[in-house]
Structure 1
């Protein structure tokens, strides 16, 4: 992900705006599935803002989930908000799963869709509810076939849905190739990089895998639309003498979103 305060702020702000737009359209009568969630804290931020969906799911590899559940157990600021929503006797937790009335964390491999669906349903995923799926720097680590299967599964599983994807773009130019080479030297291979050639290829991937609408912006364009007061605050915290390098970097990450169904809710109108 973008290794600077400005890039981080742009990503968080962009994803957050789309999440809140979906929650407003559905009046929070929906569910959110955060794919490859890692140590993300969106659930707690939404609770603080009284914007929780009917249920919030997080999915990641079992090893990552074990670490997150340990943090939740050991840190009252994380565990207390969960316990406030339901009594302790309804809170189920073991090494690879936490399930409660409004929040679930599941250890699963996103490439194994039958296992993923089984575990989500065990935690009361409701395929009849409008569903928002989020993937931040996740699909690019899967092969194009694997990510296509995940996108198809998501589009086919829910009648009304939205998908948010944040990852690399414009990776076919020289700057993109240098990024790929640097990551490879760190033993970090982007298995799905061929789908990240352009904003058009990002949108086409969504449309060809069952989604009805698709939009995409690079992070430099998104950054230019951020509230000026917030931009000034962030820029005052971080001195950069290589603005051209920052612009190049931000032009190689993008925010994409797609919708399916939900015409009566106005999901197609969601934009950044």
Structure 2
């Protein structure tokens, strides 16, 4: 991937962050931390985009909480390509924080996030306690509870080095998170990540939110739009279907794999909250939402989770 494409990929972090803040401001879900992390809501977002982000955030949140409950918080979470995500602080706010939370992303992204965190007491107090030996540098934070480190995820040796620097524990249940991350690297590189996890952890779970059904006309338009912004998507071959998404996990050591479109996710989220959310904005054409959500999927996979009932985690 070229450096220009790397920068374009990092720019997608801004898009996702402003969309999330806009949706939170409209009342789609509660996140008291995102306004401290993201300065602008950007321009108005159409209802189908807001509902799509609602389904994305809520479904991943449900799986995270179920993982934490299944392990009785004796676990750790690793967010790869974390961007300006606020999940760590949301978990702390609900007293659900794991033993350790680690985030990795490109150096430009982590540098920006470090500067933001340093300037906000609400964000630093979540991990910077009197009992905590915290080290904050230009593009990294290392503490006992939360760490943020720079890494190119295509370099699996560097990923391992940074995770060890963050004091990752290979003996406890670990959840890995990726949201629209793997598609920006080749399937060889993403497979290396998935294989590295199952090779090094006995009890682990992986949650991946990403594009799917990219071979139809709508999918081709999505691809062209990304290319017009200089975003290379070398991993799009794995996004061909739900089956291709499942196969990548099955071939890299994952025992159980679930993969469904976000349209299916939308129908199984707690419907009382979905109805509350739908009252926030009128949406003229439901077909637009269905078309959008059938081109994204949520996959969650587990390995050797019998002792912690990880394989029983469902939406």
Q: TM-score range by the shorter chain?
A: over 0.9
| Structure 2 partner of 1:97 | 140
Q: Which piece of structure 1 moves more, 262-271 or 55-64? A: 262-271
Q: CA deviation at 1:138?
A: 0.3
Q: Does 1:45 align with 2:90?
A: yes
| Structure 1 partner of 2:165 | 122
| Structure 2 partner of 1:63 | 108
| Structure 2 partner of 1:207 | 250
Where 2:282 maps in the other structure, the secondary structure is coil
Matches within 5 A, 1:166-205: 166-205=209-248
Deviations along 1:138-195, one digit per CA (max 9) or x if unpaired, are 0000111111111111111111100000000011111111111122112222211110
CA distance in 2, matches of 1:86, 1:119: 23
Q: Does 1:77 align with 2:104?
A: no
Where 1:32 maps in the other structure, the secondary structure is strand
Runs of at least 5 residues in structure 2 that lack an aligned partner in the other structure: 1-15, 20-44
The counterpart of 1:25, out of the listed 67, 70, 74, is 70
Deviations along 1:63-98, one digit per CA (max 9) or x if unpaired, are 1000000000111111122224744xx110111210
Q: CA deviation at 1:237?
A: 2.1
TM-score (norm 2): 0.83
The answer as to whether partners of 1:169 and 1:251 remain within 8 angstroms in 2 is: yes
The answer as to whether partners of 1:131 and 1:162 remain within 8 angstroms in 2 is: yes
Q: CA deviation at 1:233?
A: 2.3
CA distance in 1, matches of 2:55, 2:130: 31
The counterpart of 1:227, out of the listed 256, 270, 273, is 270
Q: How many residues align?
A: 270
- Cα pair distance change 1:229/1:84, threshold 3 Å: farther
Q: CA deviation at 1:243?
A: 1.6
| Structure 2 partner of 1:12 | 57
Deviations along 1:207-240, one digit per CA (max 9) or x if unpaired, are 0011111001111111111222322222222222
Runs of at least 5 residues in structure 1 that lack an aligned partner in the other structure: none
Where 2:126 maps in the other structure, the secondary structure is helix
Q: Give the root-mean-square deviation of aligned CA atoms.
A: 1.4
Which of structure 1's runs of 4+ aligned residues deviate more than 4 A? none
CA distance in 2, matches of 1:12, 1:168: 15
| Structure 2 partner of 1:266 | 309
CA distance in 2, matches of 1:203, 1:240: 32
| Structure 1 partner of 2:282 | 239
The answer as to whether partners of 1:91 and 1:100 remain within 8 angstroms in 2 is: yes
Where 1:216 maps in the other structure, the secondary structure is strand
- Cα pair distance change 1:122/1:40, threshold 3 Å: same
Q: CA deviation at 1:242?
A: 2.5
| Structure 2 partner of 1:156 | 199
Where 2:127 maps in the other structure, the secondary structure is helix
The answer as to whether partners of 1:217 and 1:255 remain within 8 angstroms in 2 is: yes
Q: Which piece of structure 1 moves more, 185-194 or 51-60? A: 185-194
